[in-house]
Structure 1
């Protein structure tokens, strides 16, 4: 079952993507995706729309979200798949996680104003489908539109990463709670795009060790920001920690994303695909 065009990581206008759940489902189907999940940041408000759109386009569907977690001073993302989207504890946990985004966004705007970029908060809001989920990506789109930077990568490099004028850290959920919200709702927790985190080898080992101890069961091996060498590295991590492997483009927008929906290499055949563990949760 490793040879399945599953795309289990992407974002809609409900968080920081630019397409609706309906347009994403149509795009996934057009690109040959067979099993899909919408994984908006700290939000499951688009799940019913995504499920209906998946079925309208002939796709199998898994519920999804991507939860922001603080671990060893870094923001780590944990994807949840196959959970009950009506679970009250998950709704409450995600609500608490989202609540910090608004104040953080205003602090980002203040930092940008100090280097001459005015009205960034109002500008970013123009790109927000859900004001509770305003994020750095929305600021990046505003700075590109106004000609401050040529693309979103330049925005992050110059303004929105640690040590830059618009960087504001946020205290997210902790790893234990995020994994618990997912697993108690019947789903599986997956470490998203692990190569993106700036961990030492010891810190990365600690992340996976603790994740597994809390009940985490998967890792994204093949994802839009990973290189071919990183596919191999995290296939080995999956085997070392006894984790299932996931595959997802992390698609946000046709004009911004590294990889389109459904366009990734298949998972290595020796790994257990996460969807095999979720066979009874596929809709």
Structure 2
């Protein structure tokens, strides 16, 4: 396999904060020409067996996946894991602990929204949750759009759910080293997700890459739905500088909300080492 593979190794289902089932995602990915797919639900591996079976049913290659929330330098960073054993005890228990604080955080978010006149947001958000353990800002955003408070989810985040706004509540997630260790011990490969999205200055970004690699991290998303063409080049250069493999994934959540559909990203540059080359023996 080479860089010109239509691999989509980052997307979300109803098991976390997507709107489609793993089966519907597999069908959509295959219809869009995806050759290698991974479902990467937030802090959860509960959809992995369904996704692998669905990929097989439509004749598509599959890698197990998850996206772990990590606190690094006081902000949330996401680490994608690929090609691991989804039943590995340390990974399963680590993800369970990471999910544990979400309900308390969600109730605090609802309290903040109530103070500015938006009542019943917790109950409203619950209507959009496929997995109550994984209630998130995205579910609140969908409720506020559906109830007419905002035009779209971007407006919700801008007005209510980002730092300094009424519904924002920080959450302390896993540590970077823990997330990389869980993935690695389960036989997988850890990848920094969509690095351009983090509010890092160059010094902190360099520190993230350095510490990630020191913990055993081996990849970075170069081509992803929220990156610009210039950022594809920037993170290709950083991948080479740090000796990291490159990943490609849409970060698809919903047909109505996502930056990019499954399988519709540009290919990786030929100078990069694709993560799937390092995971060839884990592809199902």
**Superposed pair shares fold, TM > 0.5:** yes
- The match for 2:25 is 24
- The match for 1:267 is 268
- The match for 1:11 is 12
**Partner Cα distance (1:51, 1:122) in 2:** 33
SS in 1 for 2:174: coil
Task: Extract unaligned runs of 5+ from structure 1.
Answer: none
Residues 126-178 of structure 1 deviation map (CA, whole Å, 9 limit, x = unaligned): 00000000000000000000111100001000000000000000000000000
**Partner Cα distance (1:217, 1:158) in 2:** 36
Q: Please say if 1:116 is aligned against 2:117.
A: yes
Residues 17-72 of structure 1 deviation map (CA, whole Å, 9 limit, x = unaligned): 00000000000000000000000000000000000000001100000000000000
Task: Extract unaligned runs of 5+ from structure 2.
Answer: none
Give the TM-score normalised by structure 1: 1.00
SS in 2 for 1:179: helix
- Cα drift, residue 185 of structure 1: 0.5
Give the TM-score normalised by structure 2: 0.99
Residues 184-233 of structure 1 deviation map (CA, whole Å, 9 limit, x = unaligned): 10000000000000001000000000000000000000000000000000
**Partner Cα distance (1:116, 1:166) in 2:** 11
**Partner Cα distance (1:8, 1:73) in 2:** 27
- The match for 2:41 is 40
**Partner Cα distance (1:54, 1:276) in 2:** 19
**Partner Cα distance (1:269, 1:118) in 2:** 52
- Count of residues in Structure 1 that have an aligned counterpart in Structure 2: 283
- The match for 2:82 is 81
Q: Please say if 1:223 is aligned against 2:224.
A: yes
SS in 1 for 2:227: coil
Q: Please say if 1:158 is aligned against 2:155.
A: no
Residues 236-272 of structure 1 deviation map (CA, whole Å, 9 limit, x = unaligned): 0100100000000000000000100000000011000
**Partner Cα distance (1:32, 1:78) in 2:** 26
- The match for 2:52 is 51
**Partner Cα distance (2:162, 2:207) in 1:** 24
- The match for 2:173 is 172
**Partner Cα distance (2:255, 2:220) in 1:** 25
**Partner Cα distance (1:59, 1:107) in 2:** 42
SS in 2 for 1:212: helix
- The match for 1:68 is 69
SS in 2 for 1:78: strand
- Cα drift, residue 3 of structure 1: 0.3
**Partner Cα distance (1:149, 1:6) in 2:** 34
SS in 2 for 1:215: coil
Q: Please say if 1:183 is aligned against 2:172.
A: no
Give the ranges of 4+ consecutive aligned residues of structure 1 lying more than 6 Å apart after TM superposition.
Answer: none
